[in-house]
């Protein structure tokens, strides 16, 4: 895949995709699986050279119910740079994620089930999680319907 944008530099869409991916992992760790991107804002500051390395940093800013607000940045700080003036911020970003399925498994629950060194393929894990989440939503609907019927 060619990620070249301006001559000799990484395309901004590839940088945005990288940030979105890392925000996604952060959302899974904080809120559990089942989160989606509602908003992603990227402010580009300095080009990233093709073949260059960057460090992606993200942090949780706020949790509001099923909404997760985060901030992040791409820097050249691959290892610890002692002088902060030498750190180049290539872009900074904010993101809003939403947890679609309130009962979706958390990251810790998935690690406990599959183990950190699981031999399952990514497709198998996704299939298991989808099935478990569908059962959870189905059970919630059944319980809700039972409550409605009992009120009648």
- As annotated, the active-site residues are 20
Question: Would you tell me how many other CB atoms lie within 10 Å of the CB of residue 48?
Answer: 23
Helix boundaries (H) for the chain: 12-31, 107-114, 122-151
**DSSP bridge pairs for 73:** 57, 92
């Amino acid at each position: 895949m060619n990620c070249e944008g301006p001559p000799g530099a990484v395309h901004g869409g590839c940088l945005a995709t990288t940030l979105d991916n890392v925000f996604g992992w952060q959302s899974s760790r904080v809120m559990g699986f089942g989160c989606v991107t509602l908003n992603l804002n990227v402010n580009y500051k300095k080009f990233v050279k093709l073949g260059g390395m960057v460090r992606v940093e993200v942090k949780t800013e706020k949790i509001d119910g099923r909404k997760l607000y985060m901030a992040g940045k791409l820097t050249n700080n691959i290892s610890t740079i002692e002088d902060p003036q030498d750190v180049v911020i290539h872009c900074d970003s904010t993101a809003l994620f939403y947890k679609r399925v309130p009962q979706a498994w958390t990251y810790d629950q998935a690690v406990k089930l599959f183990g950190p060194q699981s031999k399952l393929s990514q497709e198998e894990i996704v299939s298991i999680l989808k099935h478990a989440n569908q059962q959870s939503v189905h059970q919630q609907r059944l319980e809700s319907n039972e409550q409605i019927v009992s009120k009648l």
